[in-house]
Amino acid sequence: MKKINLGIILSLALVFSLSSCRELSTSSKVLINEVMMTNETSATDEYGDHNAWIELFVKYYGPIDVAGYEIEVEPKGEPAVRYIIPKGDVITKVAPRQHIVFWADGQPNRGTLHANFTLNPEKFTTIRLFNSNKDLIDQVEIEGGTLKADQSYGRIDPNYTELGKENWQVKDSSDGNPDTYVTPGAANRVIDQNAKQENFARQDPVGIGMALTAMSVVFTCLIILFVAFKLVGKFSIHMAQRNAIAAKGGNPDIADMKEATKKENQTPGEVFAAIALALHEEMEDVHDTEEMVITMNMEDQQPAASPWSAKTLLMRHTPIRRR
């Protein structure tokens, strides 16, 4: 019965994993960020060629190696083609919040960044991104004829990844709009201002609020550390007393702990007496007054025999011969 239950559980887990691999994960750390299907005058690869490209964006605030990830392209009415990003190349290690561009030139022998497929701008195309566990983490659908030459399809907000929502726009550098520049290998929007800094400068031009905030944070942390060290110290003393009572064979309950603490804090009366006597002599200048005269009475006294005056000790001993 246990074996049957285990088999059912494993089967359900397998079915769930297979069914969930086609669902988009909204918490993905790597996203499809921008796609160009026809490249005539835009960016060139390391060979100087103009090819279609797909840009990935690392949303995570830490470096990620995209080696083992898979990019799948499925034109409508044609079989899907999947490119597995090779392992063992340092170029696949992407820094936090940075981009990496893959060229859709159908020539994977040119290097890691060259995929084994091309893009047809006249066909409805679905581009999917899978992680190394074969889980679908992002996808984008591009209608046929949507993109003209040197136009790209870019994500408006990389932090907004809900499937089925309008979060993409056509980008064209020829219209002069800085918000729609084609930006391979960079953020889709060129931001030359910091709204948070400007808002803070307007609300706190002198900087008093910043100073008070910084000081409150510092003193709060110091108070927390003081309380933490105080509690840790009391707990350490408590445990030391408890272990000492247990080592002496006592019962380390609350009554015994209080009694032990009371005994340790008690000072013997002899100590107080010695301290009081020393203070009395120091303050009252009490001591014996004596004349510097030494009287020695040698009458009726015979000098005691002393080994220091024995003549035999001055003689050299004869060596003892041993056979």
Domains of the chain: 23-192 (2.60.40.1260), 213-266 (no CATH)
- Rounded distance between C-alpha atoms, residue 45 and residue 114, angstroms: 9
Encoding tokens for residue 282?
């120091």
CA end-to-end distance (rounded Å), the chain: 96
pLDDT at 2: 45
Among 43-52, 197-206, 209-218, which is the least confidently predicted range?
Answer: 197-206
- Rounded distance between C-alpha atoms, residue 221 and residue 205, angstroms: 26
Per the prediction, the chain carries an average pLDDT of: 81
Angle, helices 254-265/208-247, rounded to nearest 10 degrees? 100
What confidence tier does 55 reach under pLDDT thresholds 50, 70, 90? Answer: very high
Encoding tokens for residue 46?
């390391």
Cβ neighbours, 10 Å, residue 94: 18
- Rounded distance between C-alpha atoms, residue 273 and residue 279, angstroms: 10
pLDDT above 90 covers a percentage of the chain that reads: 46
Q: Amino acid identity, residue 138? A: D
pLDDT at 237: 87
Sign of CA dihedral 260, 266, 270, 275: positive
Q: Distance of CA 218 to CAs 96, 222, 229, 232, 296, Å?
A: 29, 6, 17, 21, 79
DSSP annotation of 95: P
Contact 55, 33 (CB under 8 A): yes
What confidence tier does 23 reach under pLDDT thresholds 50, 70, 90? Answer: very low
Instruction: Count the helices and strands in the chain (H runs, E runs).
Output: 5, 11
Per mean pLDDT, which of 67-76, 163-172, 229-238 is the most reliable?
67-76
Q: Between 282 and 212, whose confidence is greater?
A: 212
Q: Which helix (H) or strand (E) holds 102?
A: strand 99-104
pLDDT for 128-143, tens place per residue? 999 999 999 999 999 9
- Rounded distance between C-alpha atoms, residue 85 and residue 278, angstroms: 88
Does residue 208 have a pLDDT over 90?
Answer: no
Residue 223, helix vs strand vs coil: helix
Q: Between 152 and 305, whose confidence is greater?
A: 152
Helix, strand, coil percent content, the chain, rounded in steps of 5: 35, 20, 45
Contact 148, 175 (CB under 8 A): no
Encoding tokens for residue 163?
């499937």
